[in-house]
């Protein structure tokens, strides 16, 4: 089994792929900057047992991380539990991705992984919409090159900003179902949910339209990330929902570097 781990600002996603490259389990835990390696090791052991596995089955592992303080602790934890080599997405690791941006070394590990997943498994050109803590929309051209994208505040950041920067608006939760049949809310909570979810959906629709205009052709559009299920039904654009795209991309990168 190959272990794939994506460390995000809010959640850390852990996946396990069998020898046929099938994702046999996927789990999410809170990303905790103050958790020590032994604590992550205990959590990882518990997750493996929960899905009927143990560290001895792990042949290799790969981590993408946008939270540097967690990367080393989690790498050490995997080594303790699994006793295998752990790759970290970054400079020196082959991705097979031609990165055509101003500063290629500045590309986030998560963005590289989803771009590789799109390049390897979907028709090109492609647009990837990653709806996590931040909303990221990425463009991969018909040659498989990463040519850029946008980064905007995600739904979670927007919820927290509304609650913390206003006197009367509450901190609300977002379900996976559309909050309203109408965009126009009739109470404070529904107004907030409509603004957050429909606002994100309309931005996504607009961005897809302008990305395709600038790229000069119709693109395959793939959505991923924790809020993708909530946003997709509200969009007019037709796109593919692949919530495990980053896990697949990490496996692809692992295989390019495994000896």
Q: Which fold has domain 98-248?
A: Nucleotidyltransferase; domain 5 (3.30.420)
> Which entry of 20, 38, 46, 110 is annotated as an active-site residue?
110
Residues 6+ apart with CB under 8 A from 214: none
Residues spanned by CATH 3.30.420.40 within the chain? Answer: 2-88, 98-248
Q: Look up the CATH number of domain 2-88.
A: 3.30.420.40
Q: What is the pLDDT along the chain (259 residues), one digit of tens a residue?
A: 999 999 999 899 999 999 999 999 999 999 999 999 999 999 999 999 999 999 999 999 999 999 999 999 999 999 999 999 999 998 889 999 999 999 998 899 999 999 999 999 999 999 999 998 899 999 999 999 999 999 999 998 999 999 999 999 999 887 655 556 789 989 999 899 999 999 999 999 999 999 999 999 999 999 999 899 889 989 999 899 999 999 999 999 999 999 7
Helix (H, G, I), strand (E, B) or coil at 251: helix
Q: What is the pTM of this model?
A: 0.91
Query: How many helices, marked H, and strands, marked E, lie in the chain?
Result: 7, 11
Measured CA to CA in angstroms, residue 128 lies from 192, 228, 230, 240 at distances of 26, 11, 16, 10
Question: Among this protein's residues, is 205 annotated catalytic?
Answer: no
Burial classification of residue 53, based on how many CB atoms lie within 10 Å of its CB (0-12 exposed, 13-18 middle, 19 or more buried): middle
């Amino acid at each position: 089994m190959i272990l794939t781990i994506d460390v995000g600002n809010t959640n850390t996603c852990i996946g396990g792929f069998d020898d046929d490259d099938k994702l046999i389990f996927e789990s999410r835990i809170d990303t905790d900057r103050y958790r020590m390696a032994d604590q992550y090791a205990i959590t990882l052991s518990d997750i493996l047992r929960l899905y009927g596995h143990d560290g001895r089955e792990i042949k290799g592992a790969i981590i993408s991380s946008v939270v540097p303080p967690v990367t080393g602790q989690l790498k050490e934890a995997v080594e303790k539990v699994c006793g295998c080599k752990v790759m970290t997405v970054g400079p020196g690791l082959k991705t097979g991705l031609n990165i055509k941006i101003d500063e290629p070394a500045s590309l986030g590990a998560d963005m590289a992984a989803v771009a590789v997943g799109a390049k390897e498994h979907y028709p090109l050109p492609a647009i990837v919409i990653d709806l996590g803590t931040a909303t990221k929309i990425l463009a991969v051209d018909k040659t498989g090159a990463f040519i850029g994208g946008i980064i905007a505040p995600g739904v979670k950041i927007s919820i927290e900003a509304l609650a913390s920067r206003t006197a009367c608006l509450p901190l609300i939760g977002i379900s996976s179902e559309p909050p309203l049949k109408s965009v126009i809310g009739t109470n404070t909570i529904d107004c907030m949910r409509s603004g957050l979810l429909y606002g994100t959906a309309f931005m996504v629709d607009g961005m897809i339209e302008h990305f395709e205009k600038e790229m000069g052709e119709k693109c395959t559009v793939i959505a991923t990330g924790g809020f993708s299920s909530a946003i997709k039904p509200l969009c007019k654009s037709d796109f593919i929902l692949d919530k495990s795209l980053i896990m697949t991309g990490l496996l692809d990168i692992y295989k390019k570097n495994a000896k």
